[in-house]
Amino acid sequence: MFQIITPAQIAGKSYRAMAFAFSVAALFVAGCSSEAGELGGQKIAAADRTVTPQFAQATGLVQSAPVNSLTGSAVRQRFFSVPRPAEVIANDYSDLTETLLYATRAAEADTKKQNGGKWIEAAQIGLLFGAPEGKAFLTAPAGRALVRGEPAESCPSLNVATAPTDAQATEGALRACLRQVSARQDCGCRVIARADRLLAKRDEFQYAIGVSSHIVDPTTGRQMRMTAEERIIEGRPGVRRLWMLGVAGPVGMLQVEQDGRAAFVFSSTGKRFDGTHLEDGFRRGRTARRAYLTAKDGQRLVVLVGFEESELKENSTTLLTWNPYGPIELKKAEAN
């Protein structure tokens, strides 16, 4: 069923991390902590040249190509935002026609007649300025649209599309999103940006550059906390590389593929773990991920990326458990 939800319709509805060092013989670099977010990109670039060779290469009108960098003209753009935008959501393919109609109306409404609306610089919009899909949206040469899974907390899909017209791009991004969330219960797809309009509230465009990550020994439950920064591979938009950073530099890299494959390599030893990863929705614009990995010698590893501290505290037992075969039900954490 298609939804366009106005504020009036929804008005009535309404860890601390474990503080001990995680050590596995000959694997970890000493002195890692969450302060690594202050590191520059030079150490990552150097480690990238030595670690990434160990990862084997994986084998129309509308295009999607996330990018790592922005042009000057892209940065200088402005976008129109209103305090209480309508929510334009498609729950399945049968909603597409109506969803596209309402998306066009919302994006082409007269800005002078929208109370509280204002133009915002691109640099003030975290998701557009930080996420690869946001950067691709900013650099699109013609029609463009950005669509996110809804609700974002449990439907991890973010799709950008460019096309000759905004309408074609919107349809392309919606179709891509619906394909991704079709296997998940209670997930739809929401148009959050189109052309020069933001179709979601400003706080829904948050994007955390560095997020907490945990490497866990599932046999003992011991863990190590770090910061994770995300990179993409140009020409392979379905691949993400997440660097785990400590004070001394990169500890290792997790590479995740769109088909669910994952691999982790430690920077200091080159030891590789292979397995699968699962996505649990967005936290401050970043995908919360769980990876379950095994080395050739049989040693297991769990890597958690992007979960909030309160969420980790509420779900610590569940998240630290070896569970590579399916999604898990997470308790909704209370804000600290």
Whether the link from the prior residue into 83 is cis, omega within 30° of 0, is no
Q: So what's the pLDDT on residue 26? A: 29
Cβ contact 75:96 at 8 Å: no
Query: Residue 87: which of 168, 198, 177, 176 has the closest Cα?
Result: 198
Query: What is the token pair recorded at 312?
Result: 């980790």
* CA distance to 274, 275, 303, per residue, from 261 (Å): 8, 6, 13
Q: Name residue 61's amino acid.
A: L
Q: Please give, one letter per residue, the 3-state secondary structure of 122-136.
A: HHHCHHHHHCHHHHH
With a CB cutoff of 8 Å and minimum separation 6, the contacts of 290 are 277, 278, 280, 302, 303, 304, 305, 319, 323
Query: Residue 101: which of 181, 194, 10 has the closest Cα?
Result: 194
Query: Residue 290: which of 156, 108, 171 has the closest Cα?
Result: 156
- Cα 219 → chain centroid: 29
The CA distance from 29 to 314, in Å, is 29
The CA distance from 181 to 150, in Å, is 9
Total number of residues shown for the chain: 336
Strand, coil or helix: what is 81? Answer: strand
| E strand or H helix at 143 | strand 143-150
Over the range 305-323, which residues count as b (16 or more CB within 10 Å of their CB) and which as e?
A: bbbbeebbbbbeeebbeee
* CA distance to 17, 111, 139, 203, 325, per residue, from 128 (Å): 30, 21, 10, 12, 33
Pairing of strands 261-266, 272-283: antiparallel
DSSP label of 178:
H
Query: Residue 215: which of 226, 202, 205, 230 has the closest Cα?
Result: 226
Q: Name residue 182's amino acid.
A: S
* CA distance to 57, 132, 174, 178, 291, per residue, from 257 (Å): 11, 15, 21, 19, 11
Q: Which residues pair with 256 in a beta bridge?
A: 240, 262
Q: pLDDT tens digits for the chain (336 residues)?
A: 444 443 333 333 333 333 223 333 223 332 333 333 344 455 545 555 555 555 543 335 666 666 767 777 788 899 999 999 989 999 999 999 999 999 999 999 999 989 899 999 999 999 998 888 999 899 988 899 999 999 999 999 999 999 999 999 999 999 999 999 998 889 999 999 999 999 999 999 999 888 889 999 988 888 889 999 888 776 776 788 999 998 888 899 999 998 899 999 999 899 999 999 999 899 999 999 999 999 999 999 999 999 888 888 888 778 888 887 766 677 665 544
Residue extent(s) of CATH 2.40.128 domains in the chain: 15-59+208-319
Q: Name residue 52's amino acid.
A: T
The CA distance from 213 to 196, in Å, is 34
- CATH 1.10.3470 holds for 15-59+208-319: no
Cβ contact 263:272 at 8 Å: yes
Cβ contact 172:147 at 8 Å: no
